[in-house]
């Protein structure tokens, strides 16, 4: 120890517990006759009291926390995690997903994803009814149901329409949508359906369309297919469609007719059988945190499940982490040992796909033992 100043400066000794944050039982730190430039040795610093560390809680939930993790097969909806539908497209990125859709266009009518929606529009340059069609077909089966929102539908000429189709093959399919006929053929825009069962087709008008924004849905149940308009069954057909996919179609009747349809929020019924969420890594700011309790809030309809696992790692990039360890809800004993950075993984299950669990939040409580006390000398006063 060396002392170079003849007059002892006024020192304010500030004891700081850097690891961990302030505990309820603060140890006291005394600096014995400090001088500017002093090297502190253990004989100068005495720690007394109970340096017992502190407890902390990592609570995760809502769009921000869940938005910082990695979702696979799940969606973040109103701050909760849910299983995804087997097929869904909100057309929000202005780029048609060619991995999901096959596009068929003819006669000058095109399908373009723009403005967070799908637009099917154009002018018939062919001479037959289907000449001006545009078809967009999912490459996936669509589960028990398919629905789509029609934001608008309009056209000019002798006839035009747009429909959602649940499609098994040319001989077996069901559609519902809007269809315009000129006055001589009934007049007005109608909600119309079409059923092809074993190659036999039946079609009909259900009601005059009130406005041109509607949600259409086609849903299967045992031996029957229900057609919905804005959430209400308006027609039922007795048939079964196997491995069906969905088509969105816009048609015009004759050369020069135009059609302009906006589709959005295509969604298949049911849910994926499984999905996972991996959280960001939490820096506990403790060398060896102690897990105290893991808890969460979830809704689990019959046939669904939520599993939570935790792991930790000594580095923030979670390279070479400890193994995932599954924990039970509210578990507060026999928890795994932890390193500085904590992470959890939620696995959501719905084997039959009929309902989705909902994960609202996850809370991990942990203790931070004292391993180090840092002291600084503030000589400013």
Contacting positions for Ca ion (CB under 5 A)? 90-93, 95, 97, 116, 264
Quick one: which H or E segment has residue 226? Answer: strand 224-229
Nearest distance in Å: CB 151, Ca ion: 9
Nearer to Ca ion, 116 or 140 (CB): 116
Q: What's the rounded Cα separation, in Å, for the pair 275 and 350? A: 9
Q: What's the rounded Cα separation, in Å, for the pair 183 and 96? A: 36
Q: What's the rounded Cα separation, in Å, for the pair 78 and 84? A: 14
Nearest distance in Å: CB 115, Ca ion: 8
Nearer to Ca ion, 98 or 333 (CB): 98
Q: Which of 176, 200, 201 is nearest to 190 (CA)?
A: 176
Nearest distance in Å: CB 90, Ca ion: 4
Tokens of 191: 């909600």
Under DSSP, the state recorded for 369 is -
Nearer to Ca ion, 101 or 344 (CB): 101
Nearest distance in Å: CB 158, Ca ion: 31
Nearest distance in Å: CB 95, Ca ion: 5
**Cα dihedral across residues 205, 208, 214, 219: positive or negative:** negative
- Strand partners for 205: 192
Nearest distance in Å: CB 148, Ca ion: 11
Nearer to Ca ion, 17 or 118 (CB): 118
Nearer to Ca ion, 263 or 271 (CB): 263
Q: What's the rounded Cα separation, in Å, for the pair 179 and 204? A: 10
Tell me the residue number closest to Ca ion, measured at CB: 116
Q: How many residues are there in the chain? A: 381
Nearer to Ca ion, 226 or 264 (CB): 264
Nearest distance in Å: CB 363, Ca ion: 34
Nearer to Ca ion, 112 or 318 (CB): 112
What's the distance, CA 123 to chain centroid? 38
Q: What's the rounded Cα separation, in Å, for the pair 174 and 376? A: 77
Nearest distance in Å: CB 217, Ca ion: 17
For the chain, how long is the longest CA-to-CA vector? 112
Under DSSP, the state recorded for 65 is H
Residues 142, 87 contacting (CB under 8 angstroms): yes
Q: What's the rounded Cα separation, in Å, for the pair 46 and 32? A: 9
Nearer to Ca ion, 95 or 319 (CB): 95
Whether the bond into 341 is cis, omega within 30 of 0: no
């Amino acid at each position: 120890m060396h002392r170079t100043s003849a007059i002892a400066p006024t020192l304010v000794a500030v004891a700081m517990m850097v690891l961990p944050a302030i505990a309820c039982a603060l140890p006291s730190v005394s600096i014995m006759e400090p001088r500017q430039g002093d090297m502190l040795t253990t004989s100068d610093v005495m720690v007394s009291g109970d340096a017992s560390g502190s407890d902390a809680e990592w609570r995760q939930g809502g769009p921000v926390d869940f938005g910082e993790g990695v979702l696979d097969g799940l969606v973040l909806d109103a701050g909760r995690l849910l299983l995804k539908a087997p097929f869904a497209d909100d057309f929000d990125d202005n780029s048609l997903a060619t991995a999901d859709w096959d596009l068929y266009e003819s006669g000058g009518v095109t399908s373009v994803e723009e403005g967070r929606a799908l637009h099917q529009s154009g002018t018939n340059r062919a001479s037959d009814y289907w000449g001006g069609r545009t078809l967009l077909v999912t490459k996936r089966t669509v589960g028990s149901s398919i629905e789509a929102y029609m934001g608008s539908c309009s056209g000019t000429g002798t006839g035009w329409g747009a429909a959602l189709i649940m499609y098994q093959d040319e001989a077996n399919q069901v559609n519902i949508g809007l269809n315009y006929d000129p006055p001589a053929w009934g007049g007005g825009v109608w909600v119309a359906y079409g059923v092809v069962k074993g190659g036999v087709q039946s079609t009909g008008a259900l009601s005059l369309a009130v406005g041109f924004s509607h949600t259409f849905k086609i849903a299967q149940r045992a031996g029957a297919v229900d057609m919905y308009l804005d959430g209400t069954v308006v027609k039922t057909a007795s048939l079964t469609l196997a491995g069906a996919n969905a088509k969105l179609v816009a048609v015009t009747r004759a050369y020069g007719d135009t059609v302009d349809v906006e589709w959005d929020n295509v969604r298949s019924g049911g849910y994926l059988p499984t999905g996972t969420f991996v959280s960001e890594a939490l820096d506990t700011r403790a060398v060896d945190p102690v897990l105290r309790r893991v808890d969460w809030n979830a809704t689990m309809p019959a046939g669904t499940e939520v599993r939570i696992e935790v792991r930790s790692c000594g580095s923030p990039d979670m390279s070479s982490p400890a193994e995932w360890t599954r924990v039970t809800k509210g578990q507060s004993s026999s928890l795994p040992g932890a390193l500085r950075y904590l992470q959890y993984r939620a696995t959501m299950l719905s084997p039959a796909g009929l309902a989705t669990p909902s994960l609202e939040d996850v809370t991990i409580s942990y203790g931070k033992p004292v391993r180090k006390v840092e002291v600084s000398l503030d000589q400013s006063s």
